[in-house]
Structure 1
Amino acid sequence: MEMTLPNLLTWLRILLIPVLGLLFLLPAPWANAAAAAVFVIASLTDWLDGYLARRWNQSSPFGAFLDPVADKLIVAIALIIVVVESPTAWLAVPAAVIIGREIAVSALREWMAELGQRSSVAVGLTGKLKTTAQMTAIALLLYRHDFAGWPVWEIGLGLLYLAAALTLYSMALYTGAAMRALNRISQG
C-alpha cells in the first residue's frame, strides 16, 4: 500500500471517528460545535482525497477500497450519535434508511465488482447530491443549536429527510443498473 496524500486523508477521516464521538459526548457547552466541526473537516477530506487522487493520478486499489469504507463508517457513527442523543422515530427512521442503504449498495457494488461489472453501479449525480445533503444534515444535527436565528436542528432534520429520499432513489438507480448489467451477462 502506497502512502499517498489522498490515502493519508482517508486514514485521517477514520481517525476522526473516535474524536467525533468523544467530543459529542463531552459535557461542555462547546462540545456540539466541536463535534460538528470535526465532522465538517472529515466531510471535506472525503471530497479532497478523491479530487487529489484524480488530479495527481494517485488512484489506487487500496484507496478505492478504503475511501467508501471511511465514508460509511463516519456517517453511520455520526447518525448513531445523533439518534442516541435524540431518540425519536422522526430521527431514527431516516437514519436507518441511510445506514441500511449504505450497507445494501456496498454489497451490491462488491457483488458487481466480482462479476466484472463495477462500472455499472458507479456513483452518479444523484449519489453526489445525496452525499451533500447527508453531510450537511449531519453537521447541522451535531451542532444542534440555533445560529443567528436559524433553526439549525429543524433544517438539519429536513435535509436528513431529503438525504433519505435521495438515498432510496439512488439505491433504485443502482439496483436498476445492476439488473440491466446482469441481464446483459445472462444473455451474452
Structure 2
Amino acid sequence: MWNLPNILTVIRLIAAPMVAVLFLYFTRPYADWAALILFVGAALTDWVDGYLARAWKQESKMGAMLDPIADKAMVVIALVVLASVFGLDALFVLPAALIVFREVFVSGLREFLGDVAGTLQVTKLAKWKTTVQMVAIALLFAVGIFEHYLVMGTAGMDRDIVLSVLDGTVEDPSHLRLIYQGMYAAWYSGLALLWIAAALTIITGVDYFRKALPHLRD
C-alpha cells in the first residue's frame, strides 16, 4: 500500500489543513506566500501521483479512496481560508458555495452507494473541473501577496499622489503600478476561473447524480 503514488496522496491530504494553519501562525504576506507554495506544490502531486500509479501499475484501492478525498479537502479548506481573507464578497462567495455544496453532496452520495460508487466512471470533465479549481484558488492566493506589497508601498503617501502613480502620470520607482495591475489581474482571472469551475462543478455533479440514480431506486 505504501508505494510512492499513495505516499504523495497522503502528503496532499496532510497539506490541506496546513493551508489554514499557516494563517494562524504566520503574519501576512508570509502566510500568503507559504499557502500559495504549499497549495501549488500539493496540487502538482495530484497529477504526479496519478501519472506514476498508471505508469508503474501501482493503482490501489487505498489510492482510489484517498485521492478524491485529498482533492476535496484541499479545495474546500482553501476556499474557507480565502473567504476569511476576502470577506463576504458575492463574486467570490457564490461560486465557492456552489463548489462546497457539490463536493458535500457527491461525497454523501458516494458514502451511501458504497462499493457501487467505484463503478461510476469519472469523466474527463470532472478532471478538468479539479484542474480549473486548483488554478483559480492559486491565483486568488496570489491576490493577497500583491495587496500586501501595494499597501506597504503606499503607506504614508498622499491619496492624490498614489492615484497619480497608478495612473502613470508620476514617476513610479517602486513599481507600484505593476503591483496594482498584478493584483487586479490575479483577482479577476481567479474569479473568472472560479465561476467556470463552479459551472463545471454543477454539471459534473448532476452527471454523477444521473449515473447514481438507478442505484437509488427501490
Over alpha carbons, which structure has the higher Rg?
A: 2
Contact 2:125/2:200 (<8 A) preserved: yes
Matched to 2:72, the amino acid is: K
- Any unmatched runs of 5+ in structure 2? 148-177
Q: Secondary structure at the match of 1:54?
A: helix
Return the offset for 1:24. Answer: 4.1
Return the offset for 1:117. Answer: 5.5
146-155 or 132-141, larger mean C-alpha shift: 146-155
Identity between Structure 1 and Structure 2 (%): 43
Q: Of residues 180, 197, 208 in structure 2, which corresponds to 1:174?
A: 208
Q: 2:86 maps to which residue?
A: 86
Is 1:118 equivalent to 2:122 in the alignment? no
**Alpha carbons of 1:112 and 1:19: their partners in 2 closer, same or farther (altered >3 Å)?**
closer
Matched to 1:38, the amino acid is: L
Runs of 4 or more consecutive aligned structure 1 residues displaced over 4 Å after TM superposition: none
Aligned length: 181
- RMSD over aligned Cα, in angstroms? 2.2
Equivalent runs, 1:1-188 vs 2, <5 Å: 2-25=1-24, 26-88=26-88, 89-114=90-115, 116=116, 118-120=118-120, 122-144=121-143, 145=146, 149-150=181-182, 151-179=185-213, 181-182=214-215
- Any unmatched runs of 5+ in structure 1? none
Contact 1:79/1:95 (<8 A) preserved: yes
Contact 1:110/1:118 (<8 A) preserved: no
Q: Secondary structure at the match of 1:171?
A: helix
**C-alpha separation between the residues in 2 aligned to 1:174 and 1:18?**
27
The C-alpha deviation readout for 1:38-86, integer Å capped at 9, x for no partner, is 1111111111111111211111111111111111111111000000111
**C-alpha separation between the residues in 2 aligned to 1:24 and 1:43?**
19
**C-alpha separation between the residues in 2 aligned to 1:12 and 1:23?**
16
**Alpha carbons of 1:178 and 1:87: their partners in 2 closer, same or farther (altered >3 Å)?**
same
Contact 2:15/2:42 (<8 A) preserved: yes
**C-alpha separation between the residues in 1 aligned to 2:138 and 2:23?**
12
TM-score norm. by structure 2 comes to 0.75
**C-alpha separation between the residues in 1 aligned to 2:21 and 2:111?**
32
The C-alpha deviation readout for 1:8-40, integer Å capped at 9, x for no partner, is 101111222343224345223343233112111
Matched to 2:215, the amino acid is: L
Greater length-normalized contact order (CA 8 Å, ≥ 6 residues apart): 2
